[in-house]
Amino acid sequence: MTFPVYEAPLPSAVIFDLDGTLVDSAPDLLPATNHALSIIGRAPVSLEALRGMVGGGLRQMINLGAQASGGPVEENTLDRLLAAGMVHYADHISDNTTIYEGVIENLEALAAANVPMAVCTNKTAHFARRLIDDLRLTPYFKAVLGGDSLAVRKPDGEHILTAIRDAGANPADAVMVGDSITDVDAARNANVPVVLVSFGYTVTPARELGADAVIDHFQELPQALASLKE
């Protein structure tokens, strides 16, 4: 295993999105979403379609899935579908989820460089923590903030700023790493630079979302972070 090299000046903290950034969780989010849709007789959505629905939490995924498979549903129906989807997801949260190539090496290198890290995701906090724990990533992060950790969530900048502060860092030199327009907007609202991965969950290509840098593999992250200081 070859570890990347991070050289000074280093960010005060690196805040990561979770789904589509650190991990490919769509293979487990898909059956949970389709299970919920099946309750009202809707056809399943495809894995490719689901990848464009991730980012706002399971409720949004089920809502978008409903819209794509026959039209929107009433809020009380959506509540019922969400409850069913959450039970299914809880039973299968890490069955087929994988960590993207290069993630572990970069987390190890950042930790060795004493750069604090946190996760800022719109996933429900207890699901985020459980998934991170199942994948043995917990020791790398000083904080994990989910979509229900605060009164706001991404794209509100306070979500990222709180993650930075909870990691014990100064927002002035922190960096966000994500995969979607939600992450870009949240970073802009927090006045924090943002790096996007090109392989995550977004309908619009990452390079068209206005990030400060885009990487195609985690091995490019050290160079991307360095470019933000130039």
| Cβ count near 71 (within 10 Å) | 8
Judge whether 144 and 129 are in contact, CB under 8 Å: yes
Catalytic residue among 17, 19, 166, 179: 17
Helix (H, G, I), strand (E, B) or coil at 4: coil
| In contact, 98 and 26? CB cutoff 8 Å | no
Which DSSP helix (H) or strand (E) runs through 118?
Answer: strand 117-120
Q: Tokens representing 36?
A: 């919920």
- Starting from the edge strand earliest in sequence, which strands make up the sheet with 213-215, in order? 143-145, 117-120, 14-16, 175-178, 194-197, 213-215
Which residues lie across from 192 on neighbouring strands?
none
132, HSE (Cβ side, Cα atoms, 13 Å): 29
With tokens 């000074």, the residue in question is 8
Does residue 24 carry a catalytic annotation?
A: no
The b-or-e profile of 146-159 (16+ CB within 10 A means b, else e) is: bbebeeebbbbbbb
* Phi, psi (rounded to 5 degrees) for 25: -100, -5
- Catalytic residue numbers read 17
